[in-house]
Amino acid sequence: MNRVFFLLLVREARLMFRRPGELVNPLVFFAIVICLFPLAVGPETQLLRTLSPGLVWVAALLAVLLSLDGLFRSDFEDGSLEQWVVSPHPLGVLVLAKVLAHWLFSGLPLVLLSPVLALMLGLPADRIPVLLASLLLGTPILSLLGAVGAALTVGLKRGGILLTLLILPLYIPVLILGSGVLQAALQGLPTAGYLLWMGSMLTLAITLTPLAIAAGIKISVGE
Amino acid sequence: MNWTWFHRLGSPKWFYGISGRWLPLLIAATVLLVCAGLVWGLAIAPADYQQGNSFRIMYIHVPASFLAQSIYISMAICGVVGLVWKMKIADVALQQSAPIGAWMAFVSLLTGAIWGKPTWGAYWVWDARLTAMLILLFLYFGVIALGQAISNRDSAARACAVLAVVGVINIPIIKYSVEWWNTLHQPASFTLTEKPAMPASMWVPLLLMVLGFYCFYTVVLLMRMRLEILRRESRTSWVRAEVTRLTGRKK
């Protein structure tokens, strides 16, 4: 089973590197959304600094959401999903590999890009480790929860907007904790509690969401 | 324990028959409870010493908020039953509950806004309980939208069931995270474990209204489910006979 998991990761990596555009698009989206806010609310440093935790998190959330629409689409269209469903391997493990690959190629680059954009918004440089920790713990949760919605809507013609409607309410706790940890760091308060909460939510998501994603895929394939 | 009643629920015809016998009783209970609660709450109960008469909107606001939350939980229970036992009635109940729940969440938000203006001085504040109710409304919209987007009836029911179950696991997380984020609202007016802080002349009508709203939900749900069953089973002979009996003409 570990071998299948690994092989699936390698396959996803190969597919992704054959179309590097898909790797870059969410990053560009992330950067553009961040640039929109100073243009909209004005270039005052103090205002942007207080807003920066929320801005970085909302932009990261939207970028992940945008990349989720195509998560299962090509596999659904070429029949790979059906092969997964009929294969003897547990579907939960297969989708976990898929989501992990998705996070490695869309979530992780976002995390790596975020310090630059946060510095542009005026977040003090010594708070960057907290930002990285919160995004590292938070973006996998976003990928996992979003995959549930993506699995349920993959068979639909215009699933994109529906996916947003289904998933955004579920993202709220991550958003609150993720930007909360940065707010606390900006005010010089301890942040370990928030990070531990995010860690436990991540554990819960890794444990439970593969079951829901697998159920969603079975429904979409069976239709 | 005798489980035959549970297995019988798998038959739409049996459900249609038994719900038809229960409906008049439930309608009578709803009318009685809601009328008694409204008259008592709006006319007889004493005015609040701080809020004056504006607190009386509580008699709509609190039951609607209760119902909005319980309907989602009942939808998730229906979802589990539908996924595990593949029971058609549970699918019907889930999908027919969602619009009622959305309306209750909407009524709760609307009456809350009207109540908030004289009490807090603003129609809307970004308070934890208000925000959580708004998110609940969005969760309802999600279930309704997903149910309408999938054309295959069985797939739609199962997809909605998965979504409802995922949502219900998330509701406590959302609730506590939002409460952590900000809170201004008064704590819940009613808990099962403690004696209410209000005098009896205020909380008894509230209790009547809450019970009345639950009966109202059951009545509306049963009516919607019966209609949906007639629609789904329209090819069977018993539905044809029933429709002929109801309309008095042959199709």
Per DSSP, the residues of B56-86 read GGHHHHHHHHHHHHHHHHHHHHHHHHHHHH-
- Evaluate if residue A125 carries a pLDDT over 90: no
pLDDT-based confidence at residue B203 (cuts at 50, 70, 90): confident
How many Cα atoms occupy the beta-carbon half-sphere of A107 within 13 Å?
A: 26
Inter-chain residue contact A215 with B83, CB threshold 8 Å: yes
pLDDT of residue B130: 83
What's the mean pLDDT in A142-161? 88
Chain B contact for A178 (CB, 8 A cutoff): no
Q: Is B104 exposed, middle or buried (0-12, 13-18, 19+ CB in 10 A)?
A: buried
Structure confidence at residue A223 as a pLDDT band (50, 70, 90):
confident
The residue-averaged pLDDT of A149-162 equals 85
> Taking a C-beta distance cutoff of 8 angstroms, is the pair A141, A103 a contact?
no
Contacts of residue B137, defined as CB under 8 A and 6 or more positions apart, other chains included, come to B68, B102, B105, B106, B109
ipTM for the complex?
Answer: 0.85
Q: How many residues does chain A have?
A: 223
CB proximity list for B170: less than 8 A, separation 6 or greater: A169, A170, A173
Task: Name the residue in chain B with its Cα closest to that of A166.
Answer: B142
Cβ contact (<8 Å) for B180 and A155? no
Task: Centre a 10 Å sphere on the Cβ of residue B62 and count the other Cβ atoms it contains.
Answer: 22
pLDDT at B78: 92
Kindly report the number of other CB atoms within 10 A of residue B69's CB atom: 18
Please report, as a single letter, which amino acid is at residue B47.
A
Question: Predicted confidence band at B183 (pLDDT cuts at 50, 70, 90)?
Answer: low
CB atoms < 10 A from the CB of A23, how many? Answer: 14
Nearest one of A207, A214, A108, A107 to A154, comparing CA atoms: A214
Closest-CA distance, A17 to chain B, in angstroms, reads 33
Ramachandran quadrant class, A144 (left: phi over 0; alpha: psi -120 to 50; beta: rest): alpha
Q: What are A83-94's pLDDT values in tens digits?
A: 989 988 889 999
Q: Please tell me the distance from the alpha carbon of residue B159 to that of residue B139, in angstroms, as a whole number.
A: 14
The whole-number average pLDDT for the span A53-63 is 91
Q: In the beta sheet, which residues pair with residue B52? A: B48
**Strongest mean pLDDT among B8-17, B43-52, B225-234:** B225-234
Q: How far apart are CA B176 and CA B132, in angstroms?
A: 9
Token duo for residue A75? 């596999």
Tell me the pLDDT tens digit for each residue of A175-209.
988 888 888 888 888 888 889 999 999 999 999 99
The average pLDDT across B54-59 equals 84
Cα–Cα distance between A149 and B83 in angstroms, integer? 17
For position B188, what pLDDT does the model report?
60
Out of A18-27, A209-218, B26-35, pick the least confident.
A18-27
Residues of B near A (CB-CB distance < 8 A)?
83, 135, 138-139, 141-142, 145-146, 149-150, 152, 155, 158-159, 162-163, 165-167, 169-170, 173-174, 177-178, 180-181
What's the pLDDT at A16?
A: 84
Question: At residue B67, does pLDDT exceed 80?
Answer: yes
Q: Which residues pair with B48 in a beta bridge?
A: B52
